[in-house]
Amino acid sequence: MTDPASSPVRPTKRCLDDLGIGFPDLALPLSGIDHPLIAKSQDVPREVASGGAERVRSLTDRVWLKSKCRNLRGVVAHLSAAEVEHAQLLTDADAWWWLAAAGERKADSASDFYKAIEAEAIRRGKGRQGVSTTHLLPVEIDYKRLSAELAVQSVLSIQRVVRELIAKSLTDGKLWSASTAEHMITAGVHASDGEAYLAISAEGFLDPRTIAVILASVPHVAESEWMAEPGGAMGIEPIPGQIIFSAMITASAQAQILDEFSDDG
């Protein structure tokens, strides 16, 4: 289980709007956006764990914590499952922590961020007892973005596993296998005279999209160049529920794959 003190803090769409930032490419988790306040907010879970976090005292309907960087200010909350509409998306590796809104510090001014957010909560709580910050919690677009990120990260993770297996086989000529959440993937390479014969097998819950993701992991190999190998290849013996494909990969593709993992030894 992920240590809560090292959990990422995701900015909501409301917060990104406050900061004048649009959604980045899906390959970049929102917690990784290069912005000083978002980066500083990643410290809040650790501050909570060490007892050093500062609470926004004027927001009394739930616990909100301060995030400060230069003249920028934000409010961060750690949500419980009961407060989250799409709890199934929030895995150990993802977001229970949210940076919900942001603004600037303006000393002795009604437009100071923390004074403005207090006034906003009072208006939202009108007719009720006390303030209301429910409107600051993540909304549908925040969960849709998270769902899309997780889908992209799953694709990138599978493709990295495939290329790593190929890199290992290029190095020693052996078959290499690895398990992902739903698949067992095996790769083997036989290299000769600059080109290499590659065989990849996958077993588990497979659909055409999964197969396309696996085969698209290999650079410079077009979809039409892959050949199904129902009888097996490179010493991979087919078993029920397993699919095997083969293709030739060029020297430049081999170099690209090996270079990707050169720092991994």
Q: Enumerate the β-bridge partners of residue 186.
A: 177, 201
What is the structure's pLDDT at 90?
Answer: 60
Give average pLDDT by consecutive 10-residue segment, the chain, 265 residues: 69 98 95 97 95 95 95 93 64 71 87 93 84 93 92 92 96 92 90 86 86 94 94 88 93 94 76
Q: What is the pLDDT of residue 190?
A: 92
Buried b (16+ CB within 10 A) or exposed e, 4-35: eeebbbbbbbbbbebbebeeeeeeebbbebeb
Closest CA to 59 of 141, 109, 120: 120
C-alpha span between 134 and 61 (Å, rounded): 9
Residue-level pLDDT at 107: 79
Residue 131, helix vs strand vs coil: coil
